[in-house]
Chain A
Amino acid sequence: MSRLTPGQRLAKGVSGALFALVLLVLYAPFAVMTSLSFQERGTAVFPPQEFSFVSYQKLLEPNNYSLFTIAGEPLTNYFPPLRLSLILGLLTAVVATVFALMAALAFRRSFRGRGPLFYVLLLGMLTPGVILGLGMRLLADQVGLGAHWYTTGLLLHVAWTMPFGFIVFLIFLNRYDASVEEAAASLGASRWTVFRTVTLPLLAPGVMGSLLFGFTLSLDEVQRSSFVMGSDQTLPMELLAVTGVRITPVVYALGSLIAVVSFAFLALYFLGFERERRRTAVTAVEEEDDFTPAAPPAAAA
């Protein structure tokens, strides 16, 4: 862009300030939470009064009751809900990704009812969560199915995340060149071999994206879970329940740990993604060098 007009300079200033504000609002809570997790008793008091690791200790030793000295403090063991959430998240991610990939592959062809079925497949994403939770509970009661994480819980979590995977795969499938598959097929590869050795590797970023959606959305799910988990308590449900009683620094300690772990995990994910993208982008540019003497720098996705 050449020289900015005064109006554009104003727009730059305003939008830049707004973006900075957005980043501040997004990250300040994490910073505050982490700083508060190191104090001993106060709940929402800033600045922190003292410095101690006792909240983390409480988190790790939930049965060591001598640590819990704040009046009315919830004695919550977060390990069982955490384990349950991780298992449910992994299961949801895998099931949703496999089914979403299959459906997306079917959508490469035209068939009767393709238009309406597109919306049907997205229904689980479009319906407000509370309604699905209520409906699933009513249905389960009607047919005598017990509400557990592995029955109604898994059903709803997959129904919620599968459409995201489906969209991810449609986006990838619409952007990649089907001629490589034709090349493989014309060289004699069977359809299964084509899928395994050509289609699936090309879709690998899509698979990763779909798994990430499935796992994180499930790990975070509260809207749909309220009526369908029975006595099984997932981590976000447990956190909401505890918050209703009293927020203690233990919650902040847990939140800080979750934030650190997920930021680290996501950083690794995006780094891997970026490296993969650059690797493929570089080879593409190198190949084009013969035709375009001054190859433009690899454009961002």
Chain B
Amino acid sequence: MPVSVRTLPTPAGATERAPAGPDHAAQLRLQARRRRRETALLLAPALLWVLVAVALPLAMVVWVSFWRADGATLVHTFDLDTWSGVVGSGAFRSIGVQTLKVVAIVLAVVATVGLLCGYFLARFVRSKRTATLLLMLAILPFWTSYVIRIITWQPLFGNRGVLNWLLLELGLIDQPASAFLYNETAMICAMASLYVVFVIGPVYWALSRIDDDVIAASRSLGASAWKTFWKIEFPLAKGGLVAGCFFAAIFLFGDYATEQLIGGGTNPALSGTIRAIAGSGQWPTAAALSVCLLAMTAIVLGIFMKIHDLRREL
């Protein structure tokens, strides 16, 4: 079991003093039953909450995807009309592909940048104090407002924003370029900046736990720094890398606001499409698309768990 199991102590060594025999057995049974009840009671609120707030809504989404919308009225049937419409639509298929593509690119960027930054902090910053401080600096913005962070991309990269002003002042361009906002590249950069912190932290922690002697041993045995990285440091950092990508993916698949505000609605992802379609009252279509998005997310997260069982990091 990857999640380590610890049992609570038996109170006041009661079992040791109990006499052997049927009494003792009965007492043990009683104790076991009490523990089971306690476990159930401790779990009940959380499980009940998940049932009402997660499981039932998900079941509802699956159910509604078999309904049909005739104009503005919902027909509570059980047919495959909605599904055949969704599956047969080239537009939805390309949105699905686009979603996966953007997530894959952002994850690749986030993994590369995060790994390098985490490596820098763990290996090239001499003092542990400075490294911790720099890491804190990188993490801090995540705890502030996400909406505020994406709104500020406009004054930074917009037509009359800082970057254009800077480039104009430097004489690198003659007129403001609109290439920095409302397109896919801008959106990917924004998403990477929002979620790179998920990778930097875990990678740093994983790398900083490696004993310096292990690295020294590898080097003194003749391995190059490059080989030491791939044979020792990278495998040990892999858990952090996967954990970071895992959490980034969770946020990415549902993120529609970044796409709207920075992508400018030019590259709709599934999440944004679901929101727009549901907003127009086409609940069954939105539900069917949700099932697709859910399956996609489950597969991607499953792949990450296959690469590295994250329960080992707990």
Contacts and interface: CB of A to CB of B under 8 A. Distances in A.
B314 A167 contact: yes
A19 to B, nearest CB: 4
Residue in B56, B216, B298 with the greatest tally of chain A CB atoms within 10 Å: B56
Contacts of A254: 148
Contacts of B237: none
B314 A174 contact: yes
Given A25-B193, A186-B12, A166 B146 contact: no
B38 to A, nearest CB: 8
B116 to A, nearest CB: 4
A255 B50 contact: no
Nearest to B216: A2
B160 A120 contact: no
A279 interface: no
Interface in B195-234: 196, 200, 208, 212, 215-216, 224-226
A5 interface: yes
A142 B69 CA distance: 16
B151 A32 contact: no
A266 interface: yes
A38 B3 CA distance: 52
A178 interface: yes
Residue in B60, B257, B297 with the greatest tally of chain A CB atoms within 10 Å: B60
A174 to B, nearest CB: 5
A51 interface: no
Interface stretch (A55-63, A71-79, A126-134): A126-134
A223 B254 contact: yes
B152 A32 contact: yes
A193 to B, nearest CB: 10
A111 B145 contact: no
B49 A46 contact: no
Interface string A76-97: 0000000000000000000000
A213 B17 CA distance: 45
A262 B57 contact: no
B117 interface: yes
Interface string A18-53: 110011011111101100100000111111000000
A247 B136 contact: no
Interface in A244-284: 247, 251-252, 254-255, 258-259, 262-263, 266, 270
A216 B143 contact: yes
B128 A23 contact: no
Interface in A99-147: 99-100, 102-103, 105-111, 114-115, 117-118, 120-121, 123-132, 134-139, 142
A138 B287 contact: yes
A139 B56 contact: yes
A123 B156 CA distance: 37
Contact of A131 (B13, B36, B42, B290): B290
A155 B42 contact: no
Interface residues of B, number: 103
A262 B144 contact: yes
A208 interface: no
B311 interface: yes
A132 B49 CA distance: 13
A22 B140 CA distance: 13
B299 interface: no
B155 interface: yes
B294 interface: yes
A255 B143 contact: no
A12 B119 CA distance: 9
A295 interface: no
B144 A259 contact: yes
A197 interface: no
B9 A181 contact: yes
Given A18-B120, A28-B162, A30-B141, A128 B253 contact: yes
Nearest to B169: A47
Contacts of A30: 141, 152
A240 B144 contact: no
A191 B116 contact: no
Contact of A258 (B58, B145, B224): B145
A77 to B, nearest CB: 17
Contacts of A142: 60
B161 A44 contact: yes
Given A134-B274, A138-B57, A16 B46 contact: no
A220 interface: yes
A22 B196 CA distance: 9
Given A7-B224, A159-B53, A185-B9, 6 more contacts: A5-B225, A46-B155, A108-B7, A126-B297, A134-B274, A170-B314
16 contacts: A7-B226, A11-B124, A15-B124, A19-B120, A32-B152, A44-B155, A103-B47, A123-B50, A130-B256, A131-B290, A142-B60, A159-B53, A178-B6, A191-B8, A252-B155, A258-B144
- Nearest first, the 6 A-B pairs at minimum CB distance are A135-B57, A29-B152, A128-B254, A15-B120, A159-B53, A106-B42
